[in-house]
Structure formats: C-alpha cells, structure tokens
A and B are shown apart, each in its own frame.
Chain A
Amino acid sequence: ELKVEQNPLFLSMQEGKNYTIYCNYSTTSDRLYWYRQDPGKSLESLFVLLSNGAVKQEGRLMASLDTKARLSTLHITAAVHDLSATYFCAVQETSGSRLTFGEGTQLTVNP
C-alpha cells in the first residue's frame, strides 16, 4: 500500500523567511502533485511534477521531485502572510489511477 508522509505537519514562520516542506512516499511513482487548501475551502492545484529531476516555480513557491529518493520538496522563499494555508502532496502509483494524499502541512506565516 502506498504511503505518503509529509513533514513538518505544522509550520509557523515569519514573513520574509525561507522554509522547505518535505514529502516522502513509499513506492514507485513518477508523478507527484502539490495542492493548497485554505480553511473551509477546496483544493487548488499548484504543481504537477512528471519526471525525475522536475522543478517548477510559481511566485514564492518552488517544487522539485527526486524519484530515486522518493522525495519531493516544496520550498517557500521570503514567505508572506497570503501563503498561510494547508499544503498537500499527492502521489500517483506508476500503474494506478488515483492519488494518495499526504497528511498535509499547515503553514502559518506571521507578520
């Protein structure tokens, strides 16, 4: 059974600081997704990482994928309050047809 683990689960940081969220998964996959969820809202797609070494950037967020290490990172640069949300990674098994989600990282950016 595919397991997806994120850490940290809770992250409180100050505006202007950098930090990284980690997503580890247990079986072969070459496709990983990052989503953002605001309280009481739905999930918004941030990134789709399709191959080993893939790196994508959007604003202050950058995601990368290392399929050999079964690890993805979401790096936050110079955080701002608007980035406060819960971030989920989700992994699709190579032969699967569904996404398995991590527990989520609840990010709070303090002014």
Chain B
Amino acid sequence: NAGVMQNPRHLVRRRGQEARLRCSPMKGHSHVYWYRQLPEEGLKFMVYLQKENIIDESGMPKERFSAEFPKEGPSILRIQQVVRGDSAAYFCASSPNRIGYFNEKLFFGSGTQLSVL
C-alpha cells in the first residue's frame, strides 16, 4: 500500500509564475490536509479537504492560494503569482476519516520544496 505521494519533490519558480503541487492520498483515504513549513519552524495548517469539498480553509491566505480535491485524481494546491515569501516546504497528509474520529492520525507525504527565485 503506497503511502501519501506528493509531486514534484522540488519546484523552482520565478516570481509571478504559478505553482501547482499535487498530492495523492493513501488508498482508501478521502481526507486530505495541507500544511506549510518554513525553515526552522513547525507546520502551519492551510486547508482541509474531503473529496470534492473544502471543509476548513481558515489557514489559507486569502489571495493567490487555492486548493481542490476532485472526485478523480490528486488533490492540488495552487499558488498563483508566487512571491519569495512563498518559498517553503508544503506537506500533504491524509487519513481515512477526519481527525478526531476514533484514533485517526495523519499520514504525511514527503513534501514539495518550493523555491521562488
């Protein structure tokens, strides 16, 4: 059973370009969470999605950032018109049910390191 798959592992963009980060959850998992990690810092929640629905996007910047988790295919985190401050590691995590249901825990992908030049 493959783990959470994220691609690309490394993404380099120039200021003003778009970044698209992909996350395929573990088989059987329909809940996806995106987190951002800045150097020397902990993970900051961005968005929580369940198939075709955004459940909680309270951690997402209001502009330039969007996320989706379509019925078919991976979850996508999209950053438009990237700026240097967007440079970070972006982690996706999945679970079969929402966190808090029984003893569910998050399974994390290897992350995408975004570098904005």
A interface residue numbers (CB < 8 A to B): 4, 31, 33, 35, 41-45, 48, 50, 88, 90, 92, 96-104
Contacts and interface: CB of A to CB of B under 8 A. Distances in A.
Interface in B2-46: 33, 35, 41-45
A99 B45 contact: yes
Interface in B50-98: 55-56, 59, 91, 93, 98
A50 B108 contact: no
8 contacts: A33-B106, A42-B110, A43-B108, A45-B105, A97-B48, A101-B42, A101-B43, A103-B42
A43 B100 contact: no
B58 to A, nearest CB: 8
Contact of B99 (A99, A101, A102, A104): A99
Given A42-B91, A96-B100, A103 B105 contact: no
Given A4-B42, A43-B43, A103-B41, 13 more contacts: A33-B106, A43-B91, A43-B93, A44-B108, A45-B107, A48-B103, A92-B100, A96-B99, A96-B100, A97-B98, A97-B100, A99-B106, A101-B35
Nearest to A93: B100
Contacts of A98: 33, 45, 48, 56, 59, 99
A2 B94 CA distance: 22
Nearest to A106: B40
A87 B4 CA distance: 20
Nearest to B44: A101
A97 B108 contact: no
A41 B110 CA distance: 6
B107 A100 contact: no
Nearest to A45: B105
Nearest to A104: B42
Nearest to B92: A42
Given A88-B43, A98-B45, A101-B42, A48 B100 contact: no
